């Protein structure tokens, strides 16, 4: 790529050096050049900050007795997008190498470069800077796309785990979180509590006020629950229909009962009218609470079953109340195991009886009827 027209600023306090550079640039007409000159850094900064577009800076390092790369650092910090070629009477290769490492496009020793050398250096510097700017723009675009992709993935994850109606977690999220917390607390030997919450007489509410009002009611109830169970580890989920589940890690039964009572009170305070409720004139909720220190020998579902049984009892006892499971989950597990064993034994007994009924004996032979 060849520049069509370049505006170059030379910052140098030696007029003779400026004229030499001007003459060298005028020898070839490969590309037109406008050479602007400032004899000190302050006026150079003013020009760079003006509306004049400067494509490149030729910078003398020894203005007003300064030494080292201090002037270059000042220019490079203030105008990082403008390429800089250093002109110096110092032929120290270590200084030249350091200047290039720190961002200078080239380092030319005064009196030792030709017109073609100078023009080639300028052209390459402008092209390199153009490529760097293009690369930087592409990197910014990639960064922006990466951020958009991350946001889209977050939104997709929310669509997968968030209930669209109530904006709390959905059943899938509940299942995954419950199992994860059970396994974690099983290792840590800490309690896990579960609250099952059901809106009282919700079918009658829908029949009376309509499904749109029912949706609004569920959203309000969900947010009321989330307002109470607000620890980072707590998980509020819509379990199904008008039923919600609240996972409370590292919470014993007493703590879970306090949370459940707070949820019940907060739902009452919503004062959502419900004229066909048996518990009063407003929407209420029944809650079942169960707690267990997870054990690898106990099925995780036993805690859900215990909370469900407690919720059933709360409804049976008049609703708008908190009920706990009276037996621990281990007892419930043993009871369920005994029930399964009993059913298995009964099935085996029936199967044996059926086989005996089908057997017939005949002298010298054993055969099955039919």
Answer whether 0.85 is exceeded by the pTM: no
Contact 355, 332 (CB under 8 A): no
Arithmetic mean of pLDDT over the chain: 88
pLDDT at 370: 37
Domain covering 171-336 assigned CATH 3.30.70.270 in the classification: yes
Q: Please state which CATH number belongs to domain 6-137.
A: 3.40.50.2300
Residue 1 banded pLDDT, cuts 50, 70, 90:
very low
| Ranges of each domain in the chain | 6-137, 171-336
250-293 pLDDT per residue, tens: 999 999 999 999 999 999 999 999 999 999 999 999 999 999 99
212-253 pLDDT per residue, tens: 999 999 999 999 999 999 999 999 999 999 999 999 999 999
Contact 103, 79 (CB under 8 A): no
pLDDT over 50 at 364, yes or no: no
pLDDT over 70 at 153, yes or no: yes
> Among 73, 37, 31, which residue's Cα sits nearest to residue 57?
37
Range among 64-68, 92-96, 260-264 rated most confident? 260-264
Cα-based distances in Å from 299 to 201, 294, 324, 334: 32, 9, 19, 11
> Could you give the residue numbers annotated as active site?
242
pLDDT over 90 at 176, yes or no: yes
């Amino acid at each position: 790529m060849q520049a069509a027209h370049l505006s170059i600023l030379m910052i140098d306090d030696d007029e003779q050096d400026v004229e030499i550079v001007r003459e060298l640039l005028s020898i070839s007409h490969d590309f037109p050049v406008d050479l602007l000159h400032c004899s000190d850094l302050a006026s150079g900064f003013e020009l760079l900050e003006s509306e004049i577009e400067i494509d490149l800076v030729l910078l003398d390092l020894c203005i007003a007795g300064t030494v080292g790369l201090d002037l270059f650092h000042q220019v490079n910090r203030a105008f990082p997008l403008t390429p800089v070629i250093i002109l110096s009477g110092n032929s120290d290769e270590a200084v030249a190498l350091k200047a290039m490492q720190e961002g200078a496009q080239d380092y030319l020793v005064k009196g030792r470069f030709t017109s073609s050398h100078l023009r080639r250096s300028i052209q390459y510097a402008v092209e390199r800077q153009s490529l760097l700017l293009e690369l930087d723009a592409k990197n910014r675009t990639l960064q922006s796309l990466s951020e958009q992709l991350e946001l889209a993935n977050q939104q997709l994850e929310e669509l997968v785990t968030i209930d669209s109606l109530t904006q709390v977690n959905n059943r899938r999220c509940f299942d995954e979180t419950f199992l994860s917390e059970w396994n974690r607390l099983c290792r840590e030997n800490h309690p896990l509590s579960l609250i099952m919450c059901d809106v009282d007489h919700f079918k009658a509410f829908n029949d009376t006020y309509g499904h749109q009002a029912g949706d609004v009611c569920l959203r309000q109830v969900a947010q009321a629950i989330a307002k109470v169970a607000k620890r980072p580890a707590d998980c509020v989920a819509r379990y199904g229909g008008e039923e919600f589940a609240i996972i409370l890690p590292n919470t014993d039964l007493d703590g879970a009962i306090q949370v459940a009572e707070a949820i019940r009170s907060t739902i009452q305070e919503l004062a959502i009218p419900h004229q066909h409720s048996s518990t009063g004139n407003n929407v209420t909720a029944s809650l079942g609470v169960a707690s267990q220190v997870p054990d690898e020998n106990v099925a995780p579902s036993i805690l859900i079953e215990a909370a469900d049984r407690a919720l059933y009892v709360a409804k049976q006892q008049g609703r708008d109340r908190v009920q706990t499971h009276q037996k621990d989950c281990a007892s419930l597990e043993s009871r369920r195991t005994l029930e399964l064993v009993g059913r298995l034994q009964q099935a085996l007994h029936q199967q044996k009886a059926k086989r005996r009924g089908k057997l017939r004996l005949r002298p010298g032979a054993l055969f099955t009827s039919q």
